[in-house]
Amino acid sequence: MTAFLLAHLSDPHLGPLPPARAVELLGKRAIGYINWQRKRHAVHRRDVLTKLVADLHAQHPDHIAITGDLVNIALPAEFAQAAAWLKTIGSPYDVSLVPGNHDAYALSTRRHFARAWSDYLQGDELIAAVGGFPYVRRRGPLALIGVSTAVPTAPFMATGYLGPAQRAALDKILERLADEPLCRVLLIHHPLHSAPGRWAARLRDSTELIEVIKRHGVEMVLHGHDHRHATVWFEGPRGRIPAIGVPSASASSGEHHHPAAYNLFSIEQSERGWHITQRVRGFSNEASPDTVTELRTAILRP
């Protein structure tokens, strides 16, 4: 059996911002708009994203996972722009998406992502859950389980929240999937563990989520949000579980984040369970943002 190749990218923060009416720039969006015009537009570059995606497509992955923050301040026009971009990444069958906090940035458009990107958020079967989450998509040997942590927050906050109903549904889903010979990959925008300095950007119910994961296990957790490479291990019922974070797919070099990169996971069933290798491809700090290279490889499950 040949290995299944899963690509993971996150946080494209697609620009440029479409023109906004004054009434759309009230409250939290006003701060986000100024922030974008002053700093973020120079960080999140379309040309960087385009080069990264071209390299990703050249690797011919079997499936692509995207863990949120497609838009910036959730203006209605940003969702259509992002839907058009999604089509360039792949078909809804080949691309699985979960939303990020920027996709639910404003109260008035907090449900827009569910409509605009519905095909990419659709599970194989309808599970009675919160707004369609969690979903389960079976692709090759994988069960991709997508959850939503995307909730509107107060200005200067970027926290995420699953809530008790979604966690209870996830508990049931993972219990059911544990009996099947599937490689379970949890897709989530926020990391399960945040550094103390990221308190205002943490997943609020991460302790409860980790309990669910520890009870039933998954083979891997993929997240975005911190715009940095991260590998954190959690104890599961059948060994350690890697939680892997990836930088923003559009980020040029910067002090507080890593330059754009994506991960390629080669997944194969072995006699001892799942064999998973991670290849990191992206722009190195030194290299010009013209060249995507292989930055490193890691064996996650021997």
Residues that bind Fe ion (CB under 5 A): 11, 69, 100-101, 225
Shorter beta-carbon distance to Fe ion: residue 103 or 219: 103
CB 211, min distance to Fe ion, A = 23
Shorter beta-carbon distance to Fe ion: residue 202 or 216: 202
**What stretches of the chain adopt beta strand conformation (E)?**
4-9, 63-66, 95-97, 135-139, 142-146, 183-187, 220-223, 230-236, 239-245, 261-270, 273-282, 293-301
Query: Which residue's CB comes closest to Fe ion?
Result: 69
CB 246, min distance to Fe ion, A = 11
CB 170, min distance to Fe ion, A = 20
**What long-range pairs does 31-34 form, CB within 8 A, spacing at least 24?**
31/155, 31/156, 32/72, 32/73, 32/105, 33/73
Tokens representing 259? Answer: 């330059």
Shorter beta-carbon distance to Fe ion: residue 217 or 245: 245
Shorter beta-carbon distance to Fe ion: residue 11 or 219: 11
CB 224, min distance to Fe ion, A = 6
Looking at this protein, which amino acid is placed at residue 25?
Answer: L
CB 10, min distance to Fe ion, A = 7
**Spatial separation of the C-alpha atoms in residues 268 and 298, rounded to whole Å:** 15
Shorter beta-carbon distance to Fe ion: residue 100 or 259: 100
